[in-house]
Amino acid sequence: MVDEVREPIVDVFDEREKLVVIAELPGVEEKDIHLDVKDDIINLYAEAKDRKYSKEVLLPSPVDANSMESSYKNGVLEIKLRKK
């Protein structure tokens, strides 16, 4: 699976004033994950030695990119964003 770019499993949870995005990215390190947030889209990209993930995540509402907090543990990325 070296050169294949995979679309990760992503869930988006609407929690009133914020959105929580859960993405499954097994096999990468936190430093390998790149997130670009604009309005209601997250462009997610991660590349490690033998795994590549890419996905454009459409959000149910626009968010403040500066509010982003993210954490990665056991192959799962959690992103929190405040709605605009």
**Given the rule CB under 8 A, which residues bind a second copy?**
1, 11, 24-29, 72, 74-76
* C-beta separation of 42 from 21 below 8 A: yes
Residue matched to tokens 């604009």: 38
Q: Give, as one character, the DSSP assignment of residue 32.
A: G
Q: Give the residue with the Cβ less far from a second copy, 9 or 58.
A: 9
Q: Give the residue with the Cβ less far from a second copy, 32 or 40.
A: 32
Q: Give the residue with the Cβ less far from a second copy, 66 or 74.
A: 74
How far, in Å, CA of 70 to CA of 13, rounded? 14
CB of 54 to a second copy, least distance (A): 17
